[in-house]
């Protein structure tokens, strides 16, 4: 034993030295509290009623605040602008009253308090028919009125017509509170009551109202969406610069009203003095920035780059590579109004042509799980009896044939007569320029060809993609939506009233039966009964096949290790305002 000791000691010294040398080569080039974030797309705007893509809503949180917001650590709804949780009272008429108090320290940039008038103004913005807020309106049809205490405008009450499973979430978190003094200095919207704006019998009158039109034109101006001097609210940061395609720079306000309350409420903490967003579409460029230590946070990294960098020991000393469970659903939209796609058998055939397991392994490097429903599989009302549609080219051919699609001219593409004209099964597939979407499209294209379906891939930037989808000018399109860690209100995505241009029901799914089911779910407070209804709805979607489910994924985030950081399943998964510096390695 004694003879072996010197050798063991020598080996331990050599190993220790090697570790020291390796550690010494991994010095941190970046320092300080400022945070530089890579986004794969540029936010489309900073006005919550004009820009509601994931990149925009992430950036808007630096400027605006909600009555209540989701705590990223617990996933619970907590006061942000409010002093405390609302008091709730059931009313004899079947409705509910929610009593709120704005925090006495909450103020706008001009020093004036945030009040119930600002909250009421925000709701009126949603209901102005000339403001493109149609995706929010279906959620508000349960509201009755808002009453503001004339003696104390910080105190206000929201009355509902009926109970609703997401009442508190919608009332407090549907949109951040907008400053009335900034966006409506002449008080135009005060001439209209919320009750009247929500009254369907007065809709035509308001659609022709010149004053509402003029206000909406001013409110939706580019300045109110992008200009540093105009955007901004009660949040901790102001927009200092927006250089299109280059960067957005947010600078911490000094003083800011929330700083004194940070120790008791994380949702009022904002540590970095400066947050800069750099829109970088190219995944290779994003990986190069990380390897060169030129960025602090990067989200939605290319899966292959993420895995390779995560497995690099030296890079792991500089960045933490996080893959938290994400409430994000990947799928393919199908335009069910298109004559080539209006048969569920055709849509099911297309689903059989998508090799989901190959996509998860080859495109996402195993960072995903297949799903068979638009409900997050972690929720207890997810329909587990529904199995993902298997990859099966032969079955796809059978279904296409049953639907009348056959290759009658031997050119390798199936065809069918529609309205007396021979039509070939040639479909356009709209894809945003991120690498996983393009790879999914290419794999789908290759397999579809084997069944006689020709897929033409059309790559559009995010703005053009969104415009095409809002106008319903598509046949197939890549899709990704974030779930929320709350009960699902299916209205926005699946109710027929959301299928109008600009709405989120982009597939035209639905009928009177499905609408009634959605409405019944929304008013059912009994969990056992509600869960059963959720599962019935999922079976309805499964049979109709308005989308092709792919998977739910994990985030792919790199965060510089100088920050005491955390990630969350609550979108957007990273929270730079809450990241403090920790000691650097010596």
Residue-wise pLDDT tens digits, 388-397: 999 999 999 9
Task: Give residue 143's pLDDT.
Answer: 96
The angle at the Cα of 414, spanning 410 to 420, to the nearest 5 degrees, equals 105
Closest alpha carbon to 274 in 251, 243, 240? 251
- Return the closest-CA partner of residue 172 out of 261, 83, 58: 83
Q: Given its phi and psi angles, is residue 32 left (phi above 0), alpha (psi -120 to 50 degrees) or beta?
A: left
What percentage of the chain carries pLDDT values higher than 90? 83
pLDDT tens digit string along 545-569?
Answer: 999 999 998 889 999 999 999 999 8
Geometric angle at alpha carbon 545, from 539 and 40, rounded to 5°: 110
Average pLDDT over residues 135-142: 88
**N-term to C-term CA, the chain:** 36
β-pairing, 476-482 vs 426-431, is parallel
| Rounded (5°) CA angle 419-351-466 | 75
196-224 residue pLDDT tens: 999 999 999 999 999 999 999 999 999 99
pLDDT of 502? 79
- Indicate the helix (H) or strand (E) that contains 321: strand 319-322
For the cut 70, the answer to whether the pLDDT of residue 586 exceeds it is no
pLDDT value at 298 more than 90? yes
Q: Which domains does the chain have, with CATH numbers?
A: 64-221 (3.90.76.10), 237-324+555-581 (3.40.190.10), 327-554 (3.10.105.10)
Per the CB < 8 A criterion, the answer to whether 166 and 252 are in contact is no
The per-residue pLDDT for range 477-496, each reduced to its tens digit, is 999 987 778 899 999 899 99
Burial of 71 (0-12, 13-18, 19+ CB in 10 A): middle
């Amino acid at each position: 034993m004694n003879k072996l000791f010197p050798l063991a000691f020598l080996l331990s010294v050599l190993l220790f030295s090697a570790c020291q040398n390796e550690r010494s080569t991994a010095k941190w080039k970046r320092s300080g509290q400022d945070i530089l974030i890579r986004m794969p797309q540029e936010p489309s705007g900073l006005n919550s009623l004009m820009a509601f893509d994931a990149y925009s809503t992430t950036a808007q949180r630096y400027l605006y605040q909600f009555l209540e917001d989701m705590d990223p650590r617990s996933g619970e709804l907590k006061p942000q602008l409010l002093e405390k949780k609302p008091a709730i009272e059931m009313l004899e008429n079947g409705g509910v009253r929610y009593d709120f108090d704005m925090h006495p320290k909450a103020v706008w940039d001009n020093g004036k308090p945030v009040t119930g008038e600002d909250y009421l103004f925000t709701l009126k913005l949603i209901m102005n028919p000339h403001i493109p807020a149609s995706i929010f309106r279906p959620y508000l049809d349960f509201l009755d009125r808002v009453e503001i205490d004339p003696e104390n405008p910080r105190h206000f009450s929201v009355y509902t017509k009926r109970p609703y499973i997401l009442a508190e979430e919608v009332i407090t978190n549907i949109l951040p509170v907008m400053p009335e003094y900034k966006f409506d200095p002449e008080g135009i919207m005060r001439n209209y009551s919320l009750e009247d704006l929500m009254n369907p019998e007065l809709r035509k009158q308001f659609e022709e109202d010149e004053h509402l039109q003029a206000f909406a034109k001013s409110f939706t101006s580019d300045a109110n969406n992008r200009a540093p001097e105009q955007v901004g609210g009660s949040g901790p940061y102001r927009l200092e610069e927006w250089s299109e395609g280059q960067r957005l720079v947010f600078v911490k306000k000094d003083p800011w009203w929330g700083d004194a309350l940070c120790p008791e409420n994380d949702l009022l903490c904002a540590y970095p003095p400066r947050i800069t967003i750099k829109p970088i579409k190219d995944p290779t460029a994003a990986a190069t920035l990380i390897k060169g230590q030129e960025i602090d946070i990067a989200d939605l990294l290319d899966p292959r780059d993420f895995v390779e960098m995560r497995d690099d020991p030296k890079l792991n000393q500089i960045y933490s590579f996080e893959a938290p469970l994400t409430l994000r659903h990947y799928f393919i939209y199908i335009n069910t109004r298109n004559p080539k796609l209006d048969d569920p058998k055709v849509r099911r055939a297309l689903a059989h042509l998508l090799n989901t397991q190959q996509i998860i392994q080859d495109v996402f490097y195993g960072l995903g799980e297949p799903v068979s429903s638009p409900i997050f599989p972690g929720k207890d009302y997810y329909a587990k009896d529904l199995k993902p549609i298997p990859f099966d080219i032969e079955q796809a051919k059978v279904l296409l044939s049953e639907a009348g699609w056959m290759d009658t001219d031997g050119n390798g593409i199936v065809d069918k007569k529609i309205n007396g004209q021979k039509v070939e099964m040639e479909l356009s597939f709209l894809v945003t320029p991120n690498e996983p979407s393009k790879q999914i499209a290419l794999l789908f294209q290759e397999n579809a060809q084997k069944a006689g379906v020709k897929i033409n891939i059309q790559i559009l930037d995010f703005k053009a993609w969104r415009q095409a989808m809002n106008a319903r000018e598509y046949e197939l399109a890549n899709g990704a939506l974030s779930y929320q860690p709350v009960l699902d209100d299916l209205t926005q995505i699946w109710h027929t009233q959301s299928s109008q241009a600009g709405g989120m029901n982009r597939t035209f799914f639905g009928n009177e039966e499905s609408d009634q089911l959605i409405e019944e779910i929304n008013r059912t407070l009994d969990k056992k009964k509600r869960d059963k209804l959720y599962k019935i709805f999922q079976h309805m979607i499964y049979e109709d096949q308005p989308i092709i489910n792919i998977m739910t994924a994990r985030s792919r985030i790199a965060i510089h290790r100088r920050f005491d950081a955390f990630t969350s399943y609550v979108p957007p998964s990273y929270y730079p305002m809450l990241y403090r510096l920790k000691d650097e390695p010596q």
